[in-house]
């Protein structure tokens, strides 16, 4: 199993490009199930989760054409002869549940194994099931599978008990081919939801309200093919900004946008960073030492849970103390123990962490527990004295394209160990 070796103490400088967003690409690829015509995606990141989903779609009968060099994927779902998502392909990826809505809408039936993914807490699919049932589907959970059948979905008024991004995306896709109007209340407002809606509209869907907490979808008989460019990855963007901030660096990130990152950028400026936002780029210059900043995670547009671990890492070496409150997932502080191995001063009480900045961290061997925890350990390793070895970095490969190459381009001393 691969490991990452980091020799810390190098100030990150230079310029790199940001990849397409994993959290946008996964639902977008699933949207191709809704049409018999070919759909082409550009700016597709090279990630393990993308590879897994493409294998899953191919298993269902989708023709997959991919140009890695160009970052394009074309999907032809004209034939869907196996509307099943088996456990062997979904066990490592929570987003696999996103095939459920499109399959039910297009085929009238789907059998999807309950998915796995990062161990950051419960992410139940009950909101997905509840919504499909309200639209007329018969849904059973048996032998670890969600089995849904319906002659044709019917529009309905849906209210999710909690803000759920994948739930909103699944139900929005399903509603595109339903009979009548569907209204999703308490909908997720994330930019990735808007990106999906824009793609669906390009395919002929009738959607209004994406980006607000009420989304309306008027079902149509069929959707057409389209070409869609995937939005830049705001979490990858935020991660490299944090890495530069922690090392006292100065970087410029291209092929990205600050418009999705207001909460993150505000906190980095509070920490003492100078940030310049361009149309398609972001520049950051860090002070000699950061000031500690407290954060509280909440649904978009508030501070994202996917940036919590990275800010815990930069607070470990900042001046002062910070309070971090995690309100989305109940088990998302597992990286704290590993950061403590590097010398961090962190106290955990339930969903709250108190981080007292220290003058320096020391390299050690640590273990990644989930995707964003992995990123926090990378940031800590970049500033730690000596060598840090991060084990179980397959998590990183799920969500960060060519991480060691991009860090090396910024001057970091990073290499992969087999």
Residue 246: which of 321, 333, 318 has the closest Cα? 318
3-state helix, strand, coil in the chain (%, to 5): 35, 30, 35
Residue 293: which of 269, 329, 328, 326 has the closest Cα? 269
* Angle between helix 22-31 and 191-202 (nearest 10): 30
Q: What CA–CA distance (Å, rounded) separates 229 from 212?
A: 22
Q: One of 118, 199, 242, 316 is an active-site residue; which one? A: 118
Residue 354: which of 318, 319, 312, 317 has the closest Cα? 312
* Angle between helix 334-341 and 371-383 (nearest 10): 20
Residue 32: which of 188, 199, 148, 153 has the closest Cα? 199
Give pairs for 59-63: CB < 8 Å, separation 24+. Answer: 59/84, 59/86, 59/89, 60/33, 60/84, 60/85, 60/99, 60/103, 62/32, 62/33
Q: Is 118 known to be catalytic?
A: yes
Q: What CA–CA distance (Å, rounded) separates 165 from 173?
A: 12
- Distances in Å between the Cα of 216 and the Cα atoms of 2, 101, 336 are 45, 16, 41
Strands of 160-259 (E only): list them.
181-185, 206-208, 214-218, 226-229, 250-254
> Cα torsion for 47, 48, 51, 57, to the nearest 10°?
-110
Beta bridge partners, 183, equal 157, 216
Strands of 248-302 (E only): list them.
250-254, 274-277, 281-285, 295-296
Tell me which residue has tokens 């149509």: 220
The two structure tokens encoding residue 292: 């500690």
Q: Which residues are catalytic?
A: 118
């Amino acid at each position: 199993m691969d490991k990452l070796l980091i020799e810390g103490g190098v100030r990150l400088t230079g310029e790199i490009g940001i990849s397409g967003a994993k959290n946008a690409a996964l639902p977008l690829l699933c949207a191709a199930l809704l049409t018999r015509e070919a759909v082409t995606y550009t700016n597709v990141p090279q990630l393990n989760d993308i590879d897994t989903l493409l294998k899953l779609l191919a298993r269902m009968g989708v023709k997959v054409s991919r140009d890695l060099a160009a970052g394009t994927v074309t999907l032809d779902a004209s034939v869907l002869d196996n509307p099943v998502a088996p456990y062997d392909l979904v066990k490592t990826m929570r987003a696999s549940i996103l095939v459920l809505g499109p399959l039910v809408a297009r085929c009238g039936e789907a059998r999807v194994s309950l998915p796995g993914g990062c161990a950051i807490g419960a992410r139940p699919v009950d909101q997905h099931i509840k919504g499909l049932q309200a639209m007329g589907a018969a849904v059973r959970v048996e032998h670890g599978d969600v089995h849904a059948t319906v002659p044709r979905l019917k529009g309905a008024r849906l209210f999710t008990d909690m803000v759920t991004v994948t739930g909103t995306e699944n139900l929005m896709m399903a509603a595109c081919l339903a009979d009548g109007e569907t209204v999703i209340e308490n909908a997720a407002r994330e930019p990735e939801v808007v990106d999906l809606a824009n793609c669906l509209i390009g395919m002929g869907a009738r959607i209004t309200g994406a980006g607000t907490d009420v989304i309306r979808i008027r079902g149509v008989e069929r959707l057409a093919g389209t070409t869609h460019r995937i939005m830049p990855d705001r979490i990858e963007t935020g991660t490299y900004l944090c890495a530069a901030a922690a090392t006292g660096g100065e970087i410029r990130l291209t092929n990205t946008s600050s418009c999705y990152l207001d909460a993150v950028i505000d906190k980095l400026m509070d920490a003492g960073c100078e940030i310049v936002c361009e149309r398609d780029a972001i520049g950051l210059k860090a002070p000699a030492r950061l000031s500690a900043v407290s954060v509280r995670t909440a649904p978009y547009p508030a501070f994202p849970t996917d940036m919590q671990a990275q800010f815990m890492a930069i607070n470990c070496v900042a001046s002062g103390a910070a309070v971090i409150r995690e309100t989305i997932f109940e088990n998302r502080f597992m990286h704290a123990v590993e950061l403590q191995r590097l010398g961090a001063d962190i106290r955990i009480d339930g969903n709250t962490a108190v981080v007292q900045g220290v003058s320096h961290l020391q390299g050690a061997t640590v273990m990644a527990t989930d995707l964003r925890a992995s990123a926090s350990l990378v940031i800590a390793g970049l500033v730690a004295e000596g060598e840090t070895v991060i084990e179980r970095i397959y998590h990183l490969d799920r969500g960060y394209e060519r991480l060691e190459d991009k860090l090396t381009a910024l001057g970091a001393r990073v290499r992969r160990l087999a």
